[in-house]
Amino acid sequence: MRKHHKKLVLALFSLFTVVFSATDPNDFAIIKAFREGLENPELLEWPADGDDDPCGQSWKHVFCSGSRVTQIQVQNMSLKGTLPQNLNQLTKLQRLGLQRNQFTGALPSLSGLSELQSVYLDFNQFDSIPSDCFDRLVSLQSLALDKNNFNASTGWSFPEGLQDSAQLTNLSCMFCNLAGPLPYFLGALSSLQNLRLSGNNLSGEIPASFKRSTSLQNLWLNDQNGGGLSGTLDVVTTMDSVNVLWLHGNQFTGTIPESIGNLTVLQDLNLNGNKLVGFVPDSLAKMPLEHLDLNNNQLMGPIPNFKATEVSYASNAFCQSTPGVPCAPEVMALLEFLGSLNYPSRLVSSWTGNDPCSWLGLACHNGNVNSIALPSSNLSGTLSPSVARLGSLIQIKLGSNNLSGQVPENWTSLTSLKTLDLSTNNISPPLPKFADTVNVVTVGNPLLTGGSPSNPNPSPGSGSSGSPPSNPSSPTKGTGSSPGDSSEPVKPKRSTLVAIIAPVASVVVVALLAIPLSIYCYKKRKDTFQAPSSLVIHPRDPSDSDNTVKIVVASNTNGSASTITGSGSASRNSSGVGESHVIEAGNLVISVQVLRNVTKNFASENELGRGGFGVVYKGELDDGTKIAVKRMESGVISSKAIDEFQAEIAVLSKVRHRHLVSLLGYSVEGYERILVYEYMPQGALSKHLFHWKSSKLEPLSWKRRLNIALDVARGMEYLHNLAHRSFIHRDLKSSNILLGDDFRAKVSDFGLVKLAPDGEKSMVTRLAGTFGYLAPEYAVTGKITTKVDVFSFGIVLMELLTGLMALDEDRPEESQYLAAWFWRIKSDKQKLRAAIDPALDVKDETFESISIIAELAGHCTAREPNQRPDMGHAVNVLAPLVEKWKPMDDDTEDYCGIDYSLPLNQMVKGWQEAEGKDLSYVDLEDSKSSIPARPTGFAESFTSADGR
């Protein structure tokens, strides 16, 4: 009975609506305009004209309340067209679902739609958005605008009007051309839970309003184009409710704050591809995250044992490659020092790995850091007490920076310290009391008693025992003495000055390029190396328009100077016994005449090698310095090749590293095209691996092979990452790895070097390189990334292990191609043992490191480029092995080198040499010149005719 009653009421009610709820005429006009704007309205299946009642007749996709339209829902219908501009006259509209169609043109304003709760406009092609679009949308909860072309040419930002939407919960605008800073009010929207703004052009810092957000759960700000968001992460560490935090692909800087651990509900943290520095905080390691991505930053120190389920941290500057393995104590002390200087980016990019001896501004003796020399390096921050843990420090030179705070008391415990130069900074008193033997220079620190010379210890009672300059040969550090001059060496103990350049040719590099560099070295070389007795380098003064550089090499025997001068007709003026050539350093041009002289007119007895490109000759300068002179046969040179030749020089003169063979200069005269390189006396690695018997050489020991592998890895790492731009060698092979007298290796032959493409993208190039070393993807598609070099490096490792050439058609078919064969045998211990070069004496401990190298070789030659490690990883694997073998070292421990990785704005001004086991070093000095411009071009191969 009761049931029937209900039915009757319902029937009456529907009758009532049919009769009385005809659509509001204005709403209907807009619905009609909506239909008329479409190119394909038939998809709506609305009745033909005449049936004028969308509400009354319940048209598809339109929903009403009474006579008023409350919803339009047409998502994913392939509709094409534009929207009526008066859409906001549908004043009762609650939901608008237009997503996933092909709407174009201007989005109409939605302003004033006070009942509007959800708006989905995503995945369309709207091309503009009015600035009053979101005014007074007081009921709005969800707004999705992703993937539209809004204001594509100028970009746009959320208009302030949106802040009236206090109930807004979901705001999504990915790939929708947002530009400029993130609006402040977004962080203050107290209901906002999901903010998804990936893939826009946002820049600037996350506003402080986000700090106080207690509602945000998903914050996606990743992958901003054009640089991206910047600033530190401090602001996100107070967003208590955040669950997913995607900040990857931006430019966030600074350290990861310890307070990140306060984000207790965080599950997914992505910081990939920012510029974060410093240690991974313990609190982060302990977070039980589901997903943590730290790849591609500059994080340092040890890799912690992470609690996160899924974690990745590749391409950082960690000291080790294995989680939980601590850094060397010196490394930790230095990184803390770096931290107190706020991680200056120039040092951050150099201070990576676990071997501080190769770091910018440091010098070592017997593997211990004995010099920190960073004058005029734009450093700010304070001095870290951790430096006191570097017990072997002899000098600390930090003059002409902007350092503040006090000198840590425990620096006085540095017992070997001779020089502490803090001149021209802003150090505060009190200055701790150093021993008399320490030359403390504090002139130019206004807070320390007005800058009177040499450690006037202001603390009472210090009496006369302050810290007087211990070096009588050093003139008073008067106020007139500019801090840049404060590099006078620690007093030489004896006068037997021996120049300290290892490959003598490097002297020429210095001269030719005016490359500012640090020379660090400890002598005690056992070979027959004949050093000139002294070396004075006159670097190019950047303010001097005359780019001529001179070096004077005083010869060993009589001390007379021979200036290498040159250019144009070699002016050979006999000054004393030596002779002079002036070499134009501005562009490295060397006159052909000079090269004729030094090679005895390209005498065949001086021939070092021959290839498709021409002939390489040995040359010898007056003082015995040897150089390698590569003379191209004139027939080889097309006019295109000449341009490339020039372009290559532009690149190579800027890529400098102690494990890359340096280009010293070149000649272009008439048909002559000559390149001059430093001379590597032991020749190519291939000779020592494959032809040692016929060349009457000793086979290379395993220890030497490890050293060579590490040297090559370091050189390649530099080429890939550390040079001002990333370069790809494209022709790494054992015949392009040259050995010095000490069997330390340098990579040579940059004829095929390419500038690496930016980012992940690969570029397609003309195939070049050498069969047997070619990465499969490169051989097949010509697509090139730095990973093609990693592949070639893997092949070189296989050669070092087996003594077999990468490709040898004389071998049985299954082993002709070394890589393919090696992959088959490498995991079988027995087979691997049998594959080891018979010239090696394999003991069990050798086999252990051989297995590691075999594994690395496999890793480097993975089929998929993205599965190959980067060179930094290879360095990290190799360095500890080399370290381990050091105790058995007899002749290579003392290593002299020039660190070409230094930026060009540091110059050699002097050097110091002491006897016996004492150290020698040359200070880093600043010059006003800035970091060199990026190379503007690069050459396609001019040696590609050399088809080896």
Type and span of the H or E element at 702: helix 702-717
| Binding region for ligand NAG (CB under 6 A) out of 122-130, 347-355, 396-404, 852-860 | 122-130
Q: Is 128 in the site for ligand NAG (CB under 6 A)?
A: yes
Q: How far is CA 602 from the centre of its chain?
A: 42
Q: Which is nearer to ligand NAG, 410 or 479 (CB)?
A: 410
Interface residue with ligand NAG among 71, 194, 371, 486 (CB under 6 A) is 194
What is the nearest approach in angstroms of ligand NAG to the Cβ of residue 145? 11
Q: Is the dihedral of CA 389, 394, 399, 405 positive or negative?
A: positive
The total of other beta-carbon atoms located within 10 Å of residue 670's CB is 8
Type and span of the H or E element at 269: strand 268-270
Q: Is 181 in the site for ligand NAG (CB under 6 A)?
A: no
CB 253 within 8 A of CB 228: no
Q: Is 131 in the site for ligand NAG (CB under 6 A)?
A: yes
Tokens of 106: 């201007």
Q: What share of the chain is helix, strand, coil (3-state, %, to 5)?
A: 25, 20, 55
Q: Exposure of 414 by Cβ count < 10 A (0-12 exposed, 13-18 middle, 19+ buried)?
A: buried
Contacts for 23 with CB less than 8 Å, ≥ 6 apart: 31, 52, 53, 54, 55, 56, 64, 67, 69
Q: Is 129 in the site for ligand NAG (CB under 6 A)?
A: yes
The total of other beta-carbon atoms located within 10 Å of residue 11's CB is 10
What is the nearest approach in angstroms of ligand NAG to the Cβ of residue 333? 8
What is the nearest approach in angstroms of ligand NAG to the Cβ of residue 205? 20
Q: Which is nearer to ligand NAG, 63 or 823 (CB)?
A: 63
Which has the closest alpha carbon to 176: 114, 220, 231, 242? Answer: 220
User: d(Cα 526, Cα 895) in Å, to the nearest integer?
Assistant: 11
Q: Exposure of 346 by Cβ count < 10 A (0-12 exposed, 13-18 middle, 19+ buried)?
A: middle
Residue 502 CA neighbour count, 13 Å, CB half? 29
Q: How far is CA 911 from the centre of its chain?
A: 31
Contact flags string 383-422 toward ligand NAG, x per CB under 6 A: --xx-xx--------------------x--x---------
Q: Is 130 in the site for ligand NAG (CB under 6 A)?
A: yes
What is the nearest approach in angstroms of ligand NAG to the Cβ of residue 79? 12
Interface residue with ligand NAG among 67, 88, 148, 169 (CB under 6 A) is 169
DSSP letter string over 316-378? SEES-SSTTPPPPHHHHHHHHHHHHTT--HHHHTTS-SS-GGGSTTEEEETTEEEEEE-TTS-
User: d(Cα 781, Cα 763) in Å, to the nearest integer?
Assistant: 10
Q: Is 217 in the site for ligand NAG (CB under 6 A)?
A: no
Number of residues lying near ligand NAG (CB under 6 A) = 26
What is the nearest approach in angstroms of ligand NAG to the Cβ of residue 106? 8
What is the nearest approach in angstroms of ligand NAG to the Cβ of residue 275? 22
Tokens of 643: 């341009």
Q: Is 683 in the site for ligand NAG (CB under 6 A)?
A: no
Which one of the listed residues 146, 293, 731, 926 is annotated catalytic? 731
DSSP letter string over 423-475? -SSEEESPPP---TTSEEE-TT-TTTGGG-SS----STT-GGGS---S-TTSP
What residue numbers does the annotated binding site for ATP cover?
Answer: 630
User: d(Cα 235, Cα 173) in Å, to the nearest integer?
Assistant: 22
What is the nearest approach in angstroms of ligand NAG to the Cβ of residue 750? 44
Residues 401, 404, 409, 412, Cα dihedral to 10°: 10
Q: Which is nearer to ligand NAG, 144 or 627 (CB)?
A: 144
Q: Which is nearer to ligand NAG, 386 or 470 (CB)?
A: 386
| Binding region for ligand NAG (CB under 6 A) out of 124-132, 302-310, 532-540, 789-797 | 124-132
What residue numbers does the annotated binding site cover?
Answer: 630
Q: Which is nearer to ligand NAG, 238 or 312 (CB)?
A: 238
Residue 432 CA neighbour count, 13 Å, CB half? 17
Which has the closest alpha carbon to 874: 353, 350, 358, 294? Answer: 353
Binders in 91-110 for ligand NAG, by CB under 6 A: 100
Q: Which is nearer to ligand NAG, 196 or 783 (CB)?
A: 196
What single DSSP character describes residue 735?
Answer: G
What is the nearest approach in angstroms of ligand NAG to the Cβ of residue 150? 7
User: d(Cα 404, Cα 402) in Å, to the nearest integer?
Assistant: 7
Q: Which is nearer to ligand NAG, 64 or 256 (CB)?
A: 256
Q: Which is nearer to ligand NAG, 217 or 707 (CB)?
A: 217
Interface residue with ligand NAG among 76, 402, 479, 557 (CB under 6 A) is 76
User: d(Cα 932, Cα 511) in Å, to the nearest integer?
Assistant: 17
Q: Which is nearer to ligand NAG, 268 or 808 (CB)?
A: 268
Q: Which is nearer to ligand NAG, 150 or 702 (CB)?
A: 150
What is the nearest approach in angstroms of ligand NAG to the Cβ of residue 239? 11
Largest separation between any pair of C-alpha atoms in the chain: 131
Q: Is 141 in the site for ligand NAG (CB under 6 A)?
A: yes
What is the nearest approach in angstroms of ligand NAG to the Cβ of residue 347? 20
Which has the closest alpha carbon to 534: 57, 911, 119, 14? Answer: 911
Output Rg (C-alpha) for the chain, integer angstroms: 35
| Binding region for ligand NAG (CB under 6 A) out of 7-15, 126-134, 367-375, 484-492 | 126-134
Contact flags string 253-282 toward ligand NAG, x per CB under 6 A: -----xx-xx--------------------
Q: Is 868 in the site for ligand NAG (CB under 6 A)?
A: no
What is the nearest approach in angstroms of ligand NAG to the Cβ of residue 299? 18
CB 52 within 8 A of CB 27: no
User: d(Cα 67, Cα 449) in Å, to the nearest integer?
Assistant: 86
For Cα atoms 457, 458, 460, give the angle at the middle one, nearest 5 degrees.
105
User: d(Cα 627, Cα 125) in Å, to the nearest integer?
Assistant: 64
What is the nearest approach in angstroms of ligand NAG to the Cβ of residue 390? 9
Going from the C-alpha of 364 to that of each of 277, 396, 714, 830, 919, the distances in angstroms are 25, 13, 18, 42, 8
Q: Which is nearer to ligand NAG, 110 or 561 (CB)?
A: 110
Tokens 């070499």, located at residue = 583
For the question of residue 810 being annotated catalytic, the response is no
Q: Which is nearer to ligand NAG, 118 or 201 (CB)?
A: 118
For 596-739, where are the E strands, in sequence order? 607-611, 614-620, 626-632, 663-669, 672-678, 683-684, 727-728, 737-739
Interface residue with ligand NAG among 142, 312, 816, 846 (CB under 6 A) is 142
| Binding region for ligand NAG (CB under 6 A) out of 19-27, 127-135, 418-426, 857-865 | 127-135
Among all residues, which ones are annotated catalytic? 731
**Binding positions for ligand NAG, rule: CB under 6 A:** 76, 100, 118, 128-131, 141-142, 151, 156, 159, 169-170, 194, 258-259, 261-262, 283, 385-386, 388-389, 410, 413
